[in-house]
Structure 1
Amino acid sequence: MDLSLLLDRYGEPAILASGGLLIGLTFGAFAQQSRFCLRAAAIEFVAGAPGAKLAIWLLAFGAALAGTQLLALMDLAQLSEARQIASPQSLSGAALGGLMFGAGMVLARGCASRLLVLSATGNLRALLSGLVFAVVAQASLRGSLRPLREYLAAGFTSNEIGGNDLLAFSGASVEWAIAFALAWIAAGIFFTWRASLSPWRALAAIVTGLAIPLAWWFTASMATQAFDPVQVEGVTFTGPSADTLMLILSPPGGALDFDVGLVPGVFLGSAIAALIAREWHLVGFHDGPSMRRYLAGAALMGFGGMLAGGCAVGAGITGASVFALTAWVTLSAIWLSAGVTHYVIDGERARKSTQTPAQATP
């Protein structure tokens, strides 16, 4: 991909932000149409009733893995330069942060990316929760919560086991990784058929997942052609949400980069898709307890996502697509915590609602 003319004319920051905006538009529009949501998939799985929501997540996850590994096979992206592989990562942070994020995801009824998508469709609950998520993420990155995050993250790092590359540890080839990814897609197709999911939503889920390798490819292309160093990265929302918030609050003239373009792009893509489909409408909180639940969940996700080094998309899909060990630890912790939290909180409520008056506790 020859970007030299665009770089000479508009400069590296503008091109990076524009690329992030376009990739965000793609992710946001198709995530909104597919109803992509890890929380919903985890709840279906825990309930023992796998259906359309699990199928959507499996298709997006498999597409992200397959697309990313195809880039590596074709030498179109230097995935070894990705932050998750090239720099030391915290295994203790991945486990603890994933557990916190999974619990918060259930409490807030959506992960960071889902809150961003929903807020663009008029969901005021998601909008306020997303703001709390970004504030806590920023406090965890550079503010008052930073010492606690660094203390927890220092417990056990990938340096102590010789790196963070699962493929290197196992000696597996890129071809094996692609076959592994295709197995996830096959599972998604099976559950798509079983749940009678519409072809459009299945396709939208796949395109949502393909936004991750698209981001890897674009930033890798920029890294080889830009004069200044460019981080090879995929799609994530914890750090970018915090950076976007600070860009809005700080004086004009802040630095532009891929992450700063990504978050507004997802918001715009989701809003446009919702307006075209006539799915945009205002939604608010039902009562005080529900508001406390959402905000507590958003705060847990903000700190947990920063501690884990990524959110349900940033670690759970983007990091997993390059087979970073900490990303798979985070993803497993998110699924486990989400399942337990749903069973303890929402499952208990559902069981009480099905009791007869004679069975109910006075």
Structure 2
Amino acid sequence: MSPAEFDTLVATILVAVFFLAAALGFVMRETRFCTMGAISDVVYLGDWMRIRQWAMAIGVAMCGFTALVLWAGISAADTLYAGTQLMWLSSMVGGLMFGVGMVLASGCGARNLTRLGGGNLKSLVVLLVMAVAAFATLKGITAVARARWLDSVHIGFSSPALLPEVVAGAAGWSLPLVRGLMGGGLGLLLLLSAWCAGGKHRRDVSVLAGGIAVGLCVAAAWWLGGYVGNVQEHPATLEHMYAATYTGRIEAFSFVTPLAHTLDWLLFFSDRNKVLTWGIASVAGMVAGAFLHALWRRDFCWQGFANTADLARHLVGAVLMGVGGVVAMGCTVGQGISALSALQLGSFLSVTGIVVGAVLALRYLAWKESR
């Protein structure tokens, strides 16, 4: 591949990612797709509808990823989440922090991006603080504590820390068979469970359709990054890599570390070493898609903080999400859908931590309100 062809491929992928993320932002805002909202519906109202929507998204993404691995030749071992170490303590602690933070900040990173598109200035503040906290945890002051006290506690594997790879290696079974049974079987189980328990009302069908659309967007991201972006020989380094991603590996959607990279790119735009990447394009696309939806629905409206206490609560939540999202290697989309669809071992721990943290924070807010 010539340098010109490589540059064209990168530009094509970035444009495609932008529009795919715009579709994701549009769908999320239209169907009120929100993990924090889904958990709060259960805690406060006993309504499981949006949890089923989340399960539907995971099931579709899981089936899509499995199909891509089995029939499109995408390598699960080349994904961002396929390291050989299971950093179980980071996954649990980071997930717990993120879960508490998203409740205090009125939603996760993806939710705040869609709210920003609708004119919510509270979300702008949350996203900026979240980006700073995430960057500090990647390369700054909190990165030292992360590397020394959390990431150093791990379990090593001889194969990628993905459930099918670990099971196939331990049992001596065929990896494609195990991947198909686990990924396809669990994905279909989630789909059927969410659909059969979802009800027949028009609202229920609309909500579940939103989950299907979100899952398809994540699966399409895996295809775009792992199939279209597959470069056998980089024109400069001659190494195998995946175009347009920050890591050179296959990436899907996630909205914590990309926020840090977006802030870094904006602040040092004139530095030629700071290039536009997959994550930055996805952040911009999410806001653009939500903005178009707000114009379509004619409900774009500027919103701000109610008082100082409201501001303080959101700031604390933003810091917890920024730090926790980097420690856990993802958010409710990155770990909760993308990594889960690849059956990464750490994602199960991270998602558990997110849910537990969110429930604890919701219970605390309810207790505080009752006093």
Q: Note whether the superposition's TM-score is higher than 0.5.
A: yes
Provide the secondary structure at the position in 2 that maps to 1:85.
Answer: coil
Q: Give the structure 1 partner of residue 347 of structure 2.
A: 327
Q: Does the 8 Å CA contact 1:7/1:226 hold for their aligned counterparts?
A: no
Q: Answer whether contact 1:16 1:256 (CA < 8 A) is retained.
A: no
Pick aligned residue for 2:268 from 238, 250, 258 = 250
Residue of structure 2 in register with 1:186 after alignment: 192
Q: How many equivalent residue pairs?
A: 348
**Residue 238 in structure 1 maps to residue 238 in structure 2:** no
Question: Displacement, 1:257?
Answer: 2.1
What is the rounded CA distance, in whole Å, between the counterparts of 1:115 and 1:328 in structure 2? Answer: 24
Query: Does 1:339 find its partner at 2:339?
Result: no
For the aligned residue pairs, the C-alpha RMSD in angstroms reads 2.3
Where 2:82 maps in the other structure, the secondary structure is: helix
Q: Which runs of 5+ in 1 are unaligned?
A: 353-362
Shift of the alpha carbon at 1:93?
0.7
Q: Which amino acid aligns with 1:308?
A: A
Alignment of 1:272-351 (within 5 A): 272-345=292-365, 347-351=366-370
Mark the runs of 5 or more structure 2 residues left unpaired by the alignment: 169-177, 235-240, 243-248
**Partner Cα distance (2:13, 2:326) in 1:** 23
Deviation at 1:200, TM superposition (A): 3.6
Q: Return the offset for 1:61.
A: 2.0
Residue 15 in structure 1 maps to residue 12 in structure 2: yes
Distance 1:350 1:196 in 2: 34
Mapped partners of 2:307, 2:200: distance in 1: 37
**Compared with structure 1, are the counterparts of its residues 178 and 258 closer, same or farther at alpha carbon in structure 2 (3 Å cutoff)?**
same
* Equivalent in the alignment of 2:50: 53
Hey, what's the Cα distance between the residues in 2 that align with 1:95 and 1:338? 13
Give the structure-1-normalised TM-score. Answer: 0.89
2:284 match? 264
> Which one-letter code corresponds to 1:153 in the other structure?
L
Secondary structure at the counterpart of residue 192 of structure 1: coil
Report the CA distance shift for 1:75/1:137 in structure 2 as closer, same or farther (over 3 A). Answer: same
C-alpha separation in 1, matches of 2:213 and 2:363: 31
Cα deviation, residue 221, structure 1:
1.8
Could you tell me which residue of structure 1 aligns to residue 238 of structure 2? none
The aligned counterpart of 1:168 is 165
Q: Give the share of equivalent positions with the same residue, in percent.
A: 25
In structure 2, relative to structure 1, the CA distance for the partners of 1:160 and 1:175 (3 Å cut) is closer
Instruction: State the secondary structure of the residue aligned to 1:283.
Output: coil
Provide Cα deviations, 1:298-355, integer angstroms capped at 9, x if missing partner. 100000000111111111211111000011110011011111111122x214544xxx
One-letter amino acid of the counterpart of residue 266, structure 2: I
What corresponds to 1:202 in structure 2? 208
- Counterparts of 1:187 and 1:175, CA distance in 2: 17
| 1:45-194 map, 5 Å | 45-47=42-44, 49-159=46-156, 163-171=160-168, 172-193=178-199
Distance 2:95 2:212 in 1: 24
1:43 corresponds to 2:40: yes
- Residues 229-251 of structure 1: per-residue CA shift (max 9 Å, x gap): 22211111111111111111113
> How many angstroms does 1:87 deviate by?
4.8
How far off is 1:162 after superposition? Answer: 6.2
Mapped contact 1:123–1:282 kept (Cα < 8 A): yes
Tell me the TM-score normalised to structure 2 length.
0.87
Q: Give the match's secondary structure for 1:328.
A: helix
Q: 1:26 aligns with which of 13, 23, 26?
A: 23
Q: 1:195 to 1:161 in 2, by over 3 A?
A: farther
Question: How far 1:280 moved relative to its partner?
Answer: 1.4
